[in-house]
């Protein structure tokens, strides 16, 4: 199922462990390749990659863990994400020269390429609510990584196995990462299972990958994963995620007329309404004024589970026929 030659898989139990494994794969790749000074990872502000120390160190938001847990693992460097609705560079796509991707280049060069091990990112980011990026973004980031011999790690812990209407969001962003992490959808949560998968080039210099977990590759979790993937295939749930996602997004788009709805966006069955206190300036609500918590409670009272994520309300319904429309 994995794209290209991404096919060597290390199984663990949680998304955080998958990310931790990916960071260790990258560090060991450079160690055995004879470039042991490469230790830095470039992540995005707003990113979430989990709670183990390596994953927590690349957490792209300050609250609530970083102030308590700093210092993390050395080497985490952050760049602003492509957030077109509130562009950090005050630009408008497509006339923006893709500054969001170019900043990755500038930062790698400033941090010194021979010290940089990887660029890591969610292909669609949860931080500001189901945030997808300009279509050229990932291709340009891939190109920049190749120019500097830096590994590209795509964190598909949320997006993997159909959430966005493709098996992997990597198919949508149109690049081949060196390492992909995955978790939630691999068993749909029936058993804890996660994985970091890489291209053969990552492991070919290694005598072995120096990493292990007692419950890694647990056979019961793997059996649940195989059965779950068989069901997703048999019931055509990936195509259904795409089809129902388009239906959901079309409905949400109608809400853009509402004074507090700045932007409706989404990919497959992962959608968001980005809320604003002022449509002209696109200002976020101050935490105490945000209508989001009350909306989440009201939805729950009506039997709908949604959540708020930063400035946005997020919708990620099940794709199966019992829970979906019709
Ligand atoms: C993109 C991403 N990576 C990693 C993780 C961490 O996964 P876990 O909570 O299973 O450790 C999450 C969890 O939500 C996630 O969204």
Contacts of 155 (CB under 8 A, 6+ apart): 19, 22, 47, 49, 120, 121, 122, 123, 180, 181
Q: What length is written for the chain?
A: 326
Token pair listed for 32: 């055995």
What per-residue confidence (pLDDT) applies to 291? Answer: 95
Cα–ligand 1 centroid distance for 96 (angstroms): 31
> Taking the domains of the chain in order of start, what are their residue ranges?
8-232, 237-315
Say if CB 182 and CB 170 are below 8 A apart: no
What per-residue confidence (pLDDT) applies to 63? Answer: 76
**Residue 156 alpha carbon, nearest atom of ligand 1:** 1
The H or E element that residue 198 is part of is strand 194-198
Token pair listed for 318: 């099940």
Percent of the chain past pLDDT 90, that is, above it, reads: 94
What per-residue confidence (pLDDT) applies to 209? Answer: 96
The fold of 8-232 is 3.40.640
Mean pLDDT of the chain: 95
Q: What is the pLDDT of residues 264-306, one digit of tens each?
A: 999 999 999 999 999 999 999 999 999 999 999 999 999 999 9
Contacts of 143 (CB under 8 A, 6+ apart): none
Say if CB 313 and CB 295 are below 8 A apart: yes
Q: What is the pLDDT of residues 134-173, one digit of tens each?
A: 989 999 999 999 999 999 999 999 999 999 999 999 998 9
Distance of CA 268 to the CA centre of its chain: 14
Hey, what's the torsion of the CAs at 313, 244, 47, 191, to 10 degrees?
A: 110
Q: What is the pLDDT of residues 27-84, one digit of tens each?
A: 999 999 999 999 999 999 999 999 999 999 999 998 788 889 999 999 999 999 999 9
Decide whether any atom of ligand 1 lies within 6 Å of the 21 Cβ. no
What per-residue confidence (pLDDT) applies to 124? Answer: 96
What per-residue confidence (pLDDT) applies to 58? Answer: 97
How many other β-carbons are positioned within 10 Å of the β-carbon of residue 24? 16
What per-residue confidence (pLDDT) applies to 11? Answer: 98
Q: What is the pLDDT of residues 185-205, one digit of tens each?
A: 999 999 999 999 999 999 999
- Answer yes or no: is pLDDT of 323 > 60: no
Residue with tokens 């005050």: 90
Say if CB 79 and CB 45 are below 8 A apart: yes
Cα–ligand 1 centroid distance for 38 (angstroms): 25
Cα–ligand 1 centroid distance for 278 (angstroms): 32
Cα–ligand 1 centroid distance for 122 (angstroms): 10
**Backbone CA torsion sign across 46, 290, 247, 86:** negative
- Answer yes or no: is pLDDT of 325 > 70: no
Measured distance CA(254)–CA(272) in Å, rounded:
13
**Residue 17 alpha carbon, nearest atom of ligand 1:** 11
Say if CB 198 and CB 205 are below 8 A apart: no
Measured distance CA(30)–CA(49) in Å, rounded:
22
- DSSP secondary structure of 207-242: SS-----TTTT-HHHHHHHHHHHHHHHHTTHHHHHH
Architecture of domain 237-315: Alpha-Beta Complex (3.90)
The H or E element that residue 48 is part of is none
What per-residue confidence (pLDDT) applies to 326? Answer: 42
What per-residue confidence (pLDDT) applies to 321? Answer: 63
What per-residue confidence (pLDDT) applies to 67? Answer: 87
Percent of the chain past pLDDT 70, that is, above it, reads: 98
Cross-strand bridge partners of residue 78: 43
- Residue 39, classed as helix, strand or coil, is coil
């Amino acid at each position: 199922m994995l794209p290209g030659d991404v096919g060597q898989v290390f199984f663990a139990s949680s998304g955080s462990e998958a990310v931790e494994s990916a960071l260790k794969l990258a560090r060991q790749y450079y160690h055995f390749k004879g470039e042991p000074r490469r230790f830095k990872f470039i992540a995005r502000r707003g990113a979430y990659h989990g709670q183990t120390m390596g994953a927590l160190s690349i957490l792209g938001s300050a609250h609530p863990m970083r102030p308590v847990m700093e210092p993390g693992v050395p080497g985490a460097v952050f760049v602003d994400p492509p957030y077109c609705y509130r562009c950090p560079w005050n630009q408008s796509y497509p006339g923006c020269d893709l500054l969001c991707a170019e900043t990755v280049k500038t930062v790698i060069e400033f941090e010194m390429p021979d010290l940089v091990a990887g660029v890591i990112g969610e292909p669609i980011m949860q931080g500001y609510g189901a945030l997808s990026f300009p279509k050229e973004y990932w291709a340009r980031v891939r190109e920049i990584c190749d120019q500097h011999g830096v590994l590209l790690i795509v964190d598909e812990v949320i997006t993997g196995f159909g959430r966005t209407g493709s098996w992997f969001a990597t198919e949508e962003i149109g690049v081949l990462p060196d390492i992909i992490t995955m978790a939630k959808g691999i068993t749909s949560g029936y058993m804890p299972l996660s994985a970091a998968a890489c291209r053969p080039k990552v492991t070919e210099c290694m005598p072995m990958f120096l990493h292990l977990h007692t419950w890694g590759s647990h056979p019961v979790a793997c059996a649940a994963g195989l059965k779950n993937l068989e069901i997703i295939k048999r019931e055509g749930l990936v195509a259904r995620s795409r089809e129902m996602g388009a239906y959901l997004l079309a409905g949400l788009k109608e809400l853009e007329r509402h004074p507090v709805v700045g932007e409706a966006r989404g990919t497959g069955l992962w959608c968001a309404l980005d809320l604003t206190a002022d449509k002209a300036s696109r200002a976020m609500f101050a935490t105490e004024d945000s209508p989001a918590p009350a909306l989440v409670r009201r939805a729950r009272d009506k039997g709908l589970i949604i959540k708020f994520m930063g400035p946005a309300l997020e919708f990620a319904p099940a794709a199966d026929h019992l829970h979906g429309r019709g």
